[in-house]
Amino acid sequence: MKEGKLIDSETLMKFIKFSIQGSANKKILLDGFPRNKENLDCWNKNMGDVADVKGVLYFEVSDEEMKKRLLGRNEGRADDNEETIAKRLATFNNDTKPIIEFYEKQLRKGFAHYVKYLCIAQYVKFAQCKQLRTIQ
């Protein structure tokens, strides 16, 4: 992780499973997960007996808007530069977009909730909270 790489899926699943089983709260939100097919396959293999996925939130932001937001957040992060952002966006488009498309297809098959937002200003926060309250 010190090198900026993602933790492997099996280790991540152990952490998530431990956290879910140890929580009194039966509703959880995983942010930025699954990021790729390996994550999704590992989730399905390890979590089927632990978690019942009720929905997916996807906030759609154009590559140009994401680049603008990352460069403008002024956190002093070494990875907030145009070259690294371009690599991260390529990884997202190559690895994560197919997962989003998978969940869009699940919606057509009766998947409980799939919420896709086009991120524009503060509307998202209000809509997100309102939609989350409807997931049982």
pLDDT at 57: 76
**Residue 75 belongs to a domain:** no
**Residue 10 belongs to a domain:** yes
pLDDT at 2: 40
**Residue 106 belongs to a domain:** no
**Residue 46 belongs to a domain:** yes
Question: Sign of dihedral through CA atoms 123, 126, 132, 133?
Answer: negative
Number of folded domains in the chain?
Answer: 1
Classify 82 as helix, strand or coil.
helix
**Residue 38 belongs to a domain:** yes
- Residue for token digits 């097919």? 37
Residues 6+ apart with CB under 8 A from 24: none
Q: Which domain holds residue 37?
A: 6-20+30-52
Q: Which residues of the chain have pLDDT under 70?
A: 1-6, 108-136
pTM for this one? 0.71
| pLDDT tens string 17-56 | 888 888 888 778 888 888 899 999 999 898 877 777 777 7
**Residue 84 belongs to a domain:** no
